[in-house]
């Protein structure tokens, strides 16, 4: 049963300096309308496959979904609701950037059933926002939050970034103290990663941006953990904190390696045992869908070995860890035997532990998660 749908909206007002996501700046109203029509057609093509679907989560990501011309996002949501059955408790998330929303369009989203909004805020320092290429100011972020509250949203996330060029521990502390004043339900903390092909990547290649100090980045991570944990947030995934009951349902589908359907240019799906990637180029995507073809770029059927590795390194991202009984029910094998060497090595280093039939990261393992995940990669 597929219970999660991801919808990719590739349009932004401007491309951020660090962004390597499948997105483009601009996009005429005509192109946006054509794109939404293609997404609807792709959904119908998928429905003809006879997939078993009842949605508990719908996630509009990007790009910036709230950059769509007036009414297009609401129209697409209506179409999805009329195409697939929704569970009564469905979580519907829309990603947004401050400065791309008004109280009026947020009210329209709430009326259409959107009940979770995720703002890409990144910083409460205007100097860093400008450096990142963000289109908003600190005040715009605060105004967007106020508008969302007035529109009736009671489940709001802010994404924040640390490890920014020139950022000090004091700068990061100021952002943390500010976000804690806002009584949010969910906060995500991400370290900036400089990707090839982005403006930041090009500056890095020229030596104009220095690699961020690993110890300072770790100190920032620990500071974020300390402040959020002390103020009632549950640290439920390496980068994510939530008030009790506000953990993001959609992202947990990914971390638990559960089936999901992704539509739109560059979207990914997991229809066990197959992982599917859509073509990312918008023009190519439109051409394929408009000619009644699946916009598939690549697919891979996971072997049992690959699926077991994924279950471990994705599941360990969750602070509750991997349920060893569930692993055995799924694969018919004991993870403690399959990954005997990896578990022993990580236990010796104090990075993982077994607690009540859950394999989970220790506090030190949380800070060094990537080192742990590498150990659970099995040869195919």
| Cβ atoms 313, 377 nearer than 8 A | yes
Task: Inform me whether the pLDDT recorded for 242 exceeds 90.
Answer: yes
What is the average pLDDT score of the chain? 93
- Domains in the chain: ranges and CATH: 2-255 (3.20.20.70), 322-375 (no CATH)
> What are the angstrom distances between the C-alpha of 275 and each of 260, 267, 313?
10, 11, 16
Mean pLDDT, rounded, for 183-192 = 96
Give dist(CA 369, CA 94) in Å, integer: 28
Mean pLDDT, rounded, for 243-265 = 97
Give one word for 79, left, alpha or beta, with left for phi > 0 and alpha for psi -120 to 50. Answer: alpha
Tell me which residue has tokens 């909004």.
Answer: 117
**pLDDT digits 0-9 by tens, 46-97:** 999 989 999 999 999 988 999 999 899 999 999 999 999 999 999 999 999 9
Please spell the DSSP secondary structure of 290-335, one letter per residue: HTT---EEEEEEPPHHHHHHHHHHHHTTBTT-EEHHHHHHHHSS-H
Give dist(CA 242, CA 155) in Å, integer: 10
Burial of 300 (0-12, 13-18, 19+ CB in 10 A): exposed
Enumerate the β-bridge partners of residue 346.
none
Burial of 329 (0-12, 13-18, 19+ CB in 10 A): exposed
**Better-scored residue on pLDDT, 102 or 213:** 102
| Cβ atoms 258, 251 nearer than 8 A | no
pLDDT for 133 equals 80
Give dist(CA 222, CA 220) in Å, integer: 5
Q: Supply the DSSP symbol for 66.
A: G
pLDDT confidence of 15, banded at 50, 70, 90?
A: low
**Better-scored residue on pLDDT, 204 or 84:** 84
Give dist(CA 358, CA 86) in Å, integer: 31
Burial of 323 (0-12, 13-18, 19+ CB in 10 A): buried
Give dist(CA 106, CA 147) in Å, integer: 7
pTM over 0.85: yes
Mean pLDDT, rounded, for 145-164 = 97
% of the chain residues with pLDDT over 90: 83
């Amino acid at each position: 049963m597929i219970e999660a749908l991801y919808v990719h909206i590739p349009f932004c007002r401007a491309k951020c300096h660090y962004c390597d996501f499948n997105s483009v700046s601009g996009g005429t109203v005509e192109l946006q309308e054509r794109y939404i029509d293609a997404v609807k057609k792709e959904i119908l093509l998928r429905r003809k496959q006879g997939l078993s679907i009842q949605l508990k989560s719908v996630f509009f990501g990007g790009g910036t979904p709230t950059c769509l011309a007036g009414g297009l996002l609401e129209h697409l949501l209506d179409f999805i609701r009329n195409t697939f059955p929704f569970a009564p408790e469905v979580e519907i998330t829309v990603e947004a950037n401050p400065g791309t929303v008004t109280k009026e369009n947020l009210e329209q989203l709430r009326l259409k059933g959107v009940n979770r909004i995720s703002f890409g805020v990144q910083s409460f320092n205007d100097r860093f926002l400008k450096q990142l290429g963000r289109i908003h100011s600190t005040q715009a972020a605060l105004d967007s939050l106020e508008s969302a509250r007035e529109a009736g949203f009671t489940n709001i996330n802010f994404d924040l970034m640390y490890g920014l060029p020139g950022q000090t521990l004091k700068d990061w502390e100021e952002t943390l103290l500010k976000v804690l004043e806002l009584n949010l339900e969910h906060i995500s903390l991400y370290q900036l990663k400089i990707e090839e092909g982005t403006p930041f990547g090009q500056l890095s290649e020229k030596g104009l941006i220095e690699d961020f100090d690993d110890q300072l980045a770790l100190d920032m991570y620990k500071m974020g953990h300390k402040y959020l944990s002390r103020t009632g947030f549950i640290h439920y995934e390496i980068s994510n904190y939530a008030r009790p009951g506000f953990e993001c349902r959609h992202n947990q589908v990914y971390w638990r390696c559960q089936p999901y359907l992704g539509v739109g240019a560059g979207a990914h799906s997991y229809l066990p045992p197959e992982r599917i990637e859509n073509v990312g180029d918008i023009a190519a995507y439109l051409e394929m869908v408009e000619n009644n073809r699946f916009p598939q770029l690549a697919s891979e059927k996971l072997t049992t070995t690959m699926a077991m590795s994924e279950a471990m390194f994705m599941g360990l991202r969750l602070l509750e860890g991997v349920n060893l009984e569930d692993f055995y029910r799924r694969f018919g094998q004991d993870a403690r035997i399959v990954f005997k060497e990896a578990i022993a090595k990580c236990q010796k280093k104090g990075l993982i532990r077994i607690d009540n039939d859950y394999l989970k990261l220790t506090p030190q393992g949380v800070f060094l998660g990537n080192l742990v995940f590498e150990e659970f990669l099995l040869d195919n």
